[in-house]
A = this chain, B = another copy of it.
């Protein structure tokens, strides 16, 4: 059994969304599984002395243009949400709880629906009500998830996962780690593919 690929993402990242839409398919072509790890860029940026792309002068407007153009080129349905970027700890906590209680397949389905709600349907998924609506759309019990995602051990796990990501050198998202090799950004997918294909890079 080959080592699973590690996929670190923030629900507020457009390039994380693009990656989420294709990472499992890419991995499958090379007989790999993918472990999904929601992280919080807002927290990580405090350590890395950075901020969201769109908050830098000049880089901000360009990045918005690049996101739309990249989505169009890759035929991914995408609109920049009205409220953007946002805090995503509610969605991340729900995801962690679903991974533990319902397994990775259910959690991934939820994650993709969260991304689509935010980047296609312009729903502000920073609020727990919006997150729980998507839980219901996934055929899950929203009361159970509401209670689960509020548990202190889930909050602690998200914090620990974030600290572990920083300790691994993760400073942005999406980051994909394959066989110990880190790749930052949707635009490195061609390099990930080259590595999975050739066994080295």
User: Which residues of A pack against B, CB within 8 Å?
Assistant: 47-50, 56-59, 61-62, 65-66, 69-70, 72-73, 166, 169-172, 182, 184-185, 187-188, 190-191, 194, 201
Contacts and interface: CB of A to CB of B under 8 A. Distances in A.
Interface of A, secondary structure class, is helix
A59 B69 contact: no
A49 B50 CA distance: 10
Given A69-B201, A187-B187, A191-B69, A58 B47 contact: yes
A184 B56 contact: no
**Identical chains in the assembly:** 2
B66 A56 contact: no
A191 B70 contact: yes
Contacts of A59: 48, 50, 171-172
Nearest to A72: B201
Contacts of A66: 184, 188
A182 B48 CA distance: 27
Contacts of A187: 185, 187-188
A201 B73 CA distance: 7
A190 B193 CA distance: 15
Given A62-B171, A65-B182, A187-B187, 20 more contacts: A47-B57, A48-B56, A48-B57, A48-B58, A48-B59, A49-B56, A50-B56, A56-B171, A58-B170, A58-B171, A59-B171, A62-B182, A62-B184, A66-B188, A69-B191, A73-B191, A73-B194, A185-B187, A187-B188, A190-B190
